[in-house]
Structure 1
Amino acid sequence: MSLLYEGNSEGPDRTGPAVGGQLKKKLFAWQEECLDIWMQHQGRGIVNVVTGAGKTILALGAIARLEKQLLRENAAGLKVIIVVPQVFLLQQWAQTLQDELGIARDQIGIYSGAHKDLPTRKYMIYVVNSARHCLARHLLEDYQRGAAVMLIADECHHYSSPENSRIFDFISHISPGSSSRYYALGLSATPQAPRFDEKLVPALGVQIYKYGFAEALNANIISSFSIFNLKLKFTPDEEQEYLELSEQLSRVLDVLMRRCPYLNGLSSQHFFACLEEMARESDDSALSGLSRAVLILAHQRKD
């Protein structure tokens, strides 16, 4: 049975033999605990960690542990595939691999709209918009050649949509169970996205660990902070626009709620996630139009 823990404090011909990575930073206690649990789950799972607590270093620690395990077992070389939601994260990951894990730059490949390295390097970093069309095929080619493959899904809540989830099309071809050479780590501060159980869990594993604001603050891992609310008055024109948008939104919401009464009990996050899914996928054109109208009006009013 899989448990959720709350934190306390290329084939061999392409990747070469396993090499034990040496992480330069000392891991926090929560990171060590999380990696222990990840290894107990056969190297698969989603980690829910507050922003700033060290998700990237956690992932590098997972790579280092896995490399050492494969080296002890004299197993196939490890191929590491990282997928990110935005282009600016490519260089951040590439630099962190070099600085913290001592990876040579020529071992790191980049795959985005502007730059596409051949997917033969030991470490490949993909932007999801480009990864949709090729990542599953590239990963499966490495796996079928005999490599151990590790997929790191950074900000994994972005990858449950119909288009982005195409990066996981390989999963039906991967051997299940502890004997598999496929490893996965999902990282997010907010992993519970629409289609979480349908798309993310089969490809990445269940959520195995949670580390929140309180734990990170108590351990002095993130900086303490204060929140101040500052009130500003609308100009007369802004106030009129806000009232008009509120009235339009109220009318459209009233119609939508009569059509979909089950939306009443949802949290704000799940409510808008459901609207996005209905706007994109509903076969009922009237319902998708209502959902789209609510999203647009709510966005305009928020602005």
Structure 2
Amino acid sequence: MTTLSFEDGTVRVDDPPPDLQLPFLEADPRSGDARAPAFRYAALRDVLDGCDEVYDDRVRSWDPLDLSTTYELRDYQREALDAWERADGRGVVELPTGAGKTVVAIAAIVSRGLPTLVVVPTVDLLNQWRRELEAEFAVEIGQFGGGQQTKRPITVSTYDSAYLRADDVGGDFGLVVFDEVHHLGGEGYRDIGRLLAAPARLGLTATFERPDGAHEVVEALVGPRVFSLAVDDLAGDHLAEYDIKRIEVSLSEAERAAYDDAQETFVDYLRTSNLDMRSGADYRKLVMRSGNDPRAREALLAKQRARRVMMNADAKLDALESILARHRDDRVIVFTAHTDLVYRLSERFLLPAITNETGTSERREILDRFREGSYSRVVTANVLDEGVDVPDANVAVVLSGSGSEREFTQRLGRILRPKSDGGRALLYELVTRETTEEDVAERRRG
């Protein structure tokens, strides 16, 4: 009899039917066994089932879970879950930050009743998911990452730990939930999806498509985007109404001279390089060339100097001072692109600061105080863009950032949780005139 079993990130097929061509199988040169990548398990089973072939499935040996949830799904959350179920439990749900993607995942876990692995990008998110799942299901939740390696029927893992453990535990889960699933398109993380046998797969994200096209890899490993809503679809009903206010500032004479000089050096090199900086691939080529081409290195350093000048213009600090004075009674998050600017702002305006250098306990204390109202404002560089449960805020200031639409959407999402008073959220976008930041701002606004 044909037997399917999980082994080291693959599905081994013993005694395959001689008259049936099974897809994705390759001969293992070491043992002679027929194997397929673990993520092809569902497809193999579909072929065998479709031919009424009797087989011994030792992969699907999971004990069912008897779970329930207290959550009442909103209409759009129910629609998202139903769309995923209609896709045979495979696919990506795209919802804005604050729209309750975790609730959809919990409903999917209950619906399937299978051992589940939840994969998340950061330790902060790992802790958040574990707390949420323990509170909802009143069971012990396993954890891979953050100093622990404990497997339970429901386990939460960071992407890094899942990458290290997938070939070992990939046959132990029937459902895998990828939070911030766009990370799965990364070169190394793709192996997580390939090494897991789980036939049911749910991806969660606020921004599915990647500029490098790697979302197509995600579709192959998790399934297509089965449901999508944008911020404007939910604003006013399930998310706060919002406004975006753009404030333009000018460089000082000294800053303008430094910016123009650096930008001219960069542009002069581009004229003879055949590179287009609107292309991420060409930017990577410039970085590679800078390793052995002095002119390329000079151009790259000049570009970085120009970018730092325009993003950290003194006039932005003056504008921020006015904004903070105007919003004394509001909860404000200030976003920047550079860690050193975070510390400058923290010192000048006495703002609690969170960067990638901030320890977990200190970060948690700052956010707890922000939540309870002891702090009414915080400044950060990228760290709060995703993967952190940020307490309710109603004002955001984007002092500087990239041209990424994903980054902008995530920052906007930090202030869109519904307000108890029904008030509107407000995002300020500070842009330096007559610099490439004007183009950057247009790109990130989509």
Give me the whole-angstrom Cα distance separating, in 2, the residues matched to 1:139 and 1:276: 38
Counterpart code for 1:159: L
Are residues 22 and 121 of structure 1, via their aligned partners in 2, closer, same or farther at CA, if it must alter by over 3 Å? same
Cα contact 1:111–1:124 (8 A) shared by 2: yes
User: Match of 2:360?
Assistant: none
Counterpart code for 1:187: L
Counterpart code for 1:109: G
User: Match of 1:117?
Assistant: 149
Whether 1:45 aligns to 2:62 is no
State the 1:81 CA deviation.
Answer: 0.8
The answer to which structure, 1 or 2, has the higher relative contact order (CA under 8 A, 6+ apart) is 1
State the 1:110 CA deviation.
Answer: 1.7
Are residues 167 and 299 of structure 1, via their aligned partners in 2, closer, same or farther at CA, if it must alter by over 3 Å? farther
Are residues 205 and 91 of structure 1, via their aligned partners in 2, closer, same or farther at CA, if it must alter by over 3 Å? same
Give me the whole-angstrom Cα distance separating, in 1, the residues matched to 2:222 and 2:265: 41
Report SS of the residue matched to 1:26: coil
Cα contact 2:275–2:282 (8 A) shared by 1: no
Deviates more, 1:41-50 or 1:120-129: 120-129
Whether 1:96 aligns to 2:132 is yes
Give me the whole-angstrom Cα distance separating, in 1, the residues matched to 2:102 and 2:302: 32
RMSD of aligned residue pairs (Cα, Å): 3.4
Cα contact 1:275–1:295 (8 A) shared by 2: no
Report SS of the residue matched to 2:191: helix
Query: Structure 1: which 5+ residue stretches go unaligned?
Result: 1-9, 68-77, 143-147, 175-180
Cα contact 1:80–1:123 (8 A) shared by 2: yes
Across the two proteins, how many residue pairs are aligned to each other? 248
Instruction: Output aligned runs, 1:203-222, within 5 Å.
Output: 203-218=221-236, 220-222=237-239
State the 1:137 CA deviation.
Answer: 1.3
User: Match of 1:234?
Assistant: 251
Structure 1 residues 74-95: Cα deviation after superposition (integer angstroms, max 9, x where no partner): xxxx211111111111111111
State the 1:162 CA deviation.
Answer: 1.0
Are residues 296 and 203 of structure 1, via their aligned partners in 2, closer, same or farther at CA, if it must alter by over 3 Å? farther
Q: Which has the higher helix share?
A: 1
User: Match of 1:27?
Assistant: 73
Cα contact 2:120–2:159 (8 A) shared by 1: yes
Structure 1 residues 89-115: Cα deviation after superposition (integer angstroms, max 9, x where no partner): 11111111123x3232x2x12222x41
Give me the whole-angstrom Cα distance separating, in 2, the residues matched to 1:277 and 1:149: 39
Instruction: Output aligned runs, 1:139-150, within 5 Å.
Output: 139-142=169-172, 149-150=174-175
Give me the whole-angstrom Cα distance separating, in 2, the residues matched to 1:279 and 1:55: 39
Cα contact 1:83–1:127 (8 A) shared by 2: yes
State the 1:138 CA deviation.
Answer: 3.7
Whether 1:132 aligns to 2:179 is no
Are residues 84 and 248 of structure 1, via their aligned partners in 2, closer, same or farther at CA, if it must alter by over 3 Å? farther
Counterpart code for 1:81: L
Give me the whole-angstrom Cα distance separating, in 2, the residues matched to 1:62 and 1:296: 47
Cα contact 1:252–1:294 (8 A) shared by 2: no
Structure 1 residues 183-214: Cα deviation after superposition (integer angstroms, max 9, x where no partner): 11111111112343552112110111111112
Instruction: Output aligned runs, 1:194-273, within 5 Å.
Output: 194-218=212-236, 220-255=237-272, 258-259=274-275, 271-272=279-280
User: Match of 1:190?
Assistant: 207
Are residues 211 and 24 of structure 1, via their aligned partners in 2, closer, same or farther at CA, if it must alter by over 3 Å? same
Cα contact 2:193–2:221 (8 A) shared by 1: yes
Query: Structure 2: which 5+ residue stretches go unaligned?
Result: 1-57, 313-446
Cα contact 2:185–2:215 (8 A) shared by 1: no
Cα contact 1:23–1:64 (8 A) shared by 2: yes
Structure 1 residues 116-169: Cα deviation after superposition (integer angstroms, max 9, x where no partner): 223x301111112232222x2144231xxxxx5111111111221212222123
Cα contact 1:152–1:186 (8 A) shared by 2: yes
User: Match of 1:63?
Assistant: 109
Structure 1 residues 35-85: Cα deviation after superposition (integer angstroms, max 9, x where no partner): 111001010001121111111111111111112xxxxxxxxxx21111111
Are residues 17 and 207 of structure 1, via their aligned partners in 2, closer, same or farther at CA, if it must alter by over 3 Å? closer
Give me the whole-angstrom Cα distance separating, in 2, the residues matched to 1:252 and 1:195: 28
Cα contact 1:160–1:199 (8 A) shared by 2: yes
Instruction: Output aligned runs, 1:142-161, within 5 Å.
Output: 142=172, 149-161=174-186
State the structure with more CA Rg.
2
Cα contact 2:263–2:303 (8 A) shared by 1: no
Cα contact 1:139–1:149 (8 A) shared by 2: no
Report SS of the residue matched to 1:117: strand
Counterpart code for 1:56: T
